[in-house]
């Protein structure tokens, strides 16, 4: 008997996951995506901060809700405050001051790049938050924006979405991010970390998370992580809304007194829908994405 050998079945086509993600990527800000494709140079000003671009890549970010590069470098002894002020007076913007100090040997290149990227991602998280007003872009001449280490728009937006998802998984109520914070009527858990205890020490019913980040000289997003974990543990609560600082210009100052009473500190406040999956209904998810896209224009 002659054996008949049948050829093996063809391999099923495999999908390149990285390529699929790139094709499906819609971006956090359509305007920013267009500017990246255009390789534009200038400043994108949004409601909660601004992004500085050079040839379509982000070289610097600023937000009144996040401590700047100078705060991160001087808060813990990496750099003397007087040295930073002197360099800032001689240059335009934080990146220029940091580069000047690195050139003078007052700051190592590694410390400069780490602090720069930390400040950039921190401020960009707030600058790219959904807003109620359209952004505007001011074109600038090439060469005016000094870059320490530029970041692609795609990398920045993916990191922004990762941070949003992390905060939502820790505690789904975003009200604690900008409200004045209160201590709960409970004994703090002995399992708190040193960072969490430092945050809790500054909770006084007046400061918001951004104020605490400035006081501690830490990235604001890291402070939000600690605040949400403390809220999830029932250690702190949100009080009255804090006055939102302007997107450009002046230094932060404490907001005016709020006339209405703060939230009563009995139990952590959870929105009625917080226990439900965030994307339970595909139609609602699509509407949310359309809304965010329109608000980002």
Q: Is the pLDDT of residue 284 over 60?
A: no
Q: Examine residue 190 and state whether it is found in any structural domain, yes or no.
A: no
pLDDT tens-place string over residues 228-274 = 999 999 899 888 777 665 555 433 433 333 333 333 333 334 333 33
Beta strand pairing call for 236-241 and 179-183 = antiparallel
Residue 137 lies in a domain: yes
Q: Is the pLDDT of residue 120 over 80?
A: yes
Burial class from Cβ neighbours inside 10 Å (0-12, 13-18, 19+) for residue 180 reads buried
Is residue 99 a part of any domain in this protein? yes
For residue 112, name the pLDDT band (cuts at 50, 70, 90): confident
DSSP 3-state percent helix, strand, coil across the chain (nearest 5)? 45, 10, 45
* Residue bearing the bigger pLDDT, 161 or 26: 161
Which domain covers residue 128, as residue numbers? 30-159
- Specify if 145 maps to a domain: yes
Look over the chain and give the mean of its residue pLDDT values, rounded to a whole number: 78
Residue 266, in any domain of the structure: no
- HSE-CB for 208 with a 13 A CA cutoff: 23
Q: For residue 43, what pLDDT band results from cuts at 50, 70 and 90?
A: very high
Quick one: average pLDDT of 32-51? 95
Which pLDDT score is estimated for 287?
56
Is pLDDT larger for residue 137 or for residue 79? 137
> Is residue 81 in a domain?
yes
**pLDDT for the residue 231:** 92
Residue 48 lies inside a defined structural domain of this protein: yes
Mean pLDDT of 109-115: 87
Residue 159 in 3-state DSSP?
helix
Domain count, the chain: 1
- Band (pLDDT 50/70/90 cuts) for residue 282 is very low
| pLDDT exceeds 60 at position 8 | yes
User: For residue 242, what pLDDT is reported?
Assistant: 74
Residue 225 located in a structural domain: no
At 12, the pLDDT band (50, 70, 90 cuts) reads: low
Confidence of residue 96 (pLDDT cuts 50, 70, 90): confident
What pLDDT sits at residue 161?
96
């Amino acid at each position: 008997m002659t054996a008949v050998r049948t050829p093996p079945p063809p391999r099923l086509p495999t999908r390149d996951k990285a390529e699929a993600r790139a094709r499906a990527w819609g971006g956090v800000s359509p305007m920013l995506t267009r500017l990246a494709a255009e390789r534009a140079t200038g400043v994108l000003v949004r409601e909660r901060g601004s992004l500085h671009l050079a040839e379509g890549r982000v070289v610097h970010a600023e937000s009144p809700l996040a401590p700047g590069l100078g705060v991160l470098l001087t808060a813990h002894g990496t750099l003397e405050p007087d040295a930073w002020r002197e360099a800032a007076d001689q240059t335009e913007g934080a990146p220029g001051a940091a580069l000047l100090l690195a050139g003078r040997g007052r700051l190592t290149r590694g410390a400069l790049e780490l602090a720069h990227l930390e400040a950039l991602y921190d401020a960009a998280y707030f600058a790219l938050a959904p807003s109620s007003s359209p952004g505007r872009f001011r074109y600038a001449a090439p060469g005016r924006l000094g870059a320490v280490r530029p970041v692609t728009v795609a990398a920045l937006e993916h990191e922004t979405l990762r941070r949003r998802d992390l905060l939502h998984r820790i505690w789904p109520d975003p009200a604690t991010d900008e409200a004045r914070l209160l201590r709960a009527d409970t004994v703090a858990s002995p399992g708190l970390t040193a960072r969490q205890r430092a945050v809790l020490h500054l909770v006084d019913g007046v400061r918001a998370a951004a104020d605490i980040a400035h006081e501690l000289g830490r990235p604001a997003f890291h402070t939000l992580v600690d605040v949400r974990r403390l809220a999830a543990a029932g250690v702190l609560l949100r009080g009255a809304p804090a006055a939102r600082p302007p997107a450009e210009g002046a230094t932060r100052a404490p907001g005016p007194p709020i006339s209405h009473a703060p939230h009563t500190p009995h139990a952590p406040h959870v929105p009625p829908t917080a226990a439900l999956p965030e994307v339970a209904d595909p139609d609602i998810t699509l509407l949310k994405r359309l809304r965010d896209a329109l608000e980002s224009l």
